[in-house]
Chain A
C-alpha cells in the first residue's frame, strides 16, 4: 500500500515538474461560415495565435476579431460594430486540453477529443470538439471543426436579418505550429 501510494506520488510529482513541449503559431487560420437559402456568409482570419503543449496535452488559441476578413466590407463593419462589438471585446480565446492517449511520434494524423472554454463577446462557454493533430518534419498541424450558436455568446441577431444568418455557424480551424525556442 505504502509502495503504491509512493509510486503514485512520485508519478504526480514527475507530471507536475513535467517537461513542456510547446508548439506555437502566430498565423493560424480560423474561418466561419453561415449558410442560409438567402445568403452565404464567410469570414476568415489568418492571424490566429495558437499554442499546443503536447507534453501536457493542453492548448490555447487567441485571435483578434477585427482580423476576420469578409468579402463584403460592409458586413465586416457590421460584424465588428453590431455583432461581436470588437471595440469592447477585441479577442476570442480558447483554452482546453485533451486526454486521449496518442503517440504523435509515429508521424500519423491522430484524432483527439478536446474540452475547453471558449470566450467570445464577453461570454465564456465550455466547448467540446474533436480535432486532429499531425506531427511531421517538426511541424505540428492541427485542425478542428465545430458549430457555434451566436445566441450562446449573447450575440443578438435582429429579426430583419434572422433569415440571412444561420442559427448555427460552422467554424473551421487550421494551425501549423513550430516548436518554440528551437
Chain B
C-alpha cells in the first residue's frame, strides 16, 4: 500500500514535468517554423540623420515623410571672445527632404553662402539585410547647386556658369547596433572654376562613421578627402568634422565642430579653407524634424 502511494506520488510528479515539457515543446515547434520563414529583414537606423554632419548619409525620409532641417555654422572659434568665439557670425542652410517612395527622396535647400539653392534626388539601390545576404546599403545621389549672388559688374555670369553638379555613391554598413561606417565616392562638376588651374571635374572620397553610446546618443565623425592637384588657385583643406547626435522622438539634434563652414557638398568638399591646425574650427548644429504628411487613414 505504501509502495503504491509512493508510486502514485512519483507518477504525479512525472506527469507535472511532462505538462511543463509540453508547453516548451509547443513553443519550440513555433520557433522552428519562425526560423524557417524568417525573412531577410532590412537593417534600419544605420544613421540617425539624413546627413551625418555635412555629408549625405544613406538615410532618407520614408514615403510621405517630410523632413525639415536647419543647419547653422558659426564663425571660427579662434575669433576669440570679442566675436563670442564665432557665435556672432552665423551662416545657415535650411532644407526639406521628402520621401516620394520608400526608396526615392527629393530634397531642396537654401544656404547663406553664395545665396545658394540646392536640389537633389537620393535613390536607394540596395538595403543591407539582417542575415547579411546583402552586406551594405547603397544609395545613389545626384545634386544640383545654383549660386544666386548678384554680380552686377559681370552680366555674362548666366545660370550656366552659376551651376554645379554632384553625383555620389553612398555605401554604408551597420556593423553592429552601435557601429556604422560609410564610404562615399563623390564626383563634382563645376561649370565655372576660379582660374584655369582649377579642374572642372573633381573627385573626392567621403568617409564617415557613427558610434552609438546610448540608445539616443551617438558620436559621429566624417572626413572628406579631396586628392590634391584638383583645386589649385587657393589653398583647400580636407573637411573633417566630429559631433554628437541626440535623438528625441521626431527630432534629431546634431552638434559638431568642423573646419568647413559650407553645408552643401561642392562647398564643404572642395572649398574648405579652414584648417584644424590653425584653429579655423566652426561650431555648428543641424536640427531636423520629421513630419508625416500622408492623408490620415481612416481609423476603424
Contact = CB atoms under 8 A, between A and B. Distances in A.
Interface of A: 1-2, 5, 8-9, 12-13, 15-16, 20, 24, 26, 40, 49-51, 53, 56, 58-64, 66, 71-74, 76-78, 80-82, 85, 87-88, 91, 93, 95-97, 116, 158, 160-161, 164
Contact of B26 (A26, A40, A60, A77): A60
Interface stretch (B16-24, B112-120, B158-166): B16-24
Contacts of B132: none
B277 interface: no
29 contacts: A2-B1, A5-B5, A5-B8, A8-B8, A9-B7, A9-B8, A12-B12, A16-B15, A24-B29, A40-B299, A49-B34, A58-B19, A58-B23, A58-B26, A60-B27, A60-B30, A61-B30, A62-B34, A73-B65, A74-B62, A74-B250, A74-B292, A81-B177, A82-B216, A85-B215, A95-B24, A116-B23, A158-B248, A160-B249
Contact of B249 (A12, A76, A95, A161): A161
B62 A73 contact: yes
A87 B30 contact: no
Nearest to B20: A95
A93 B27 contact: yes
A53 B22 contact: yes
Interface of B: 1, 4-5, 7-8, 11-12, 14-15, 18-19, 22-24, 26-27, 29-31, 33-34, 37-38, 41, 44-45, 62-63, 65, 102, 177, 215-216, 248-250, 290, 292, 294, 297, 299
Contacts of A13: 11
A170 B37 CA distance: 28
Nearest to A87: B177
Contacts of B65: 72-74
Nearest to A91: B34
For the complex of A and B, 6 pairs with smallest distance between CB atoms:
A73-B62, A60-B26, A62-B30, A49-B30, A60-B27, A95-B23
A96 B27 CA distance: 10
B249 A58 contact: no
Nearest to B294: A71
B4 A97 contact: no
Given A2-B1, A81-B44, A51 B29 contact: yes
Contacts of B102: 73
Given A74-B65, A82-B215, A50 B30 contact: yes
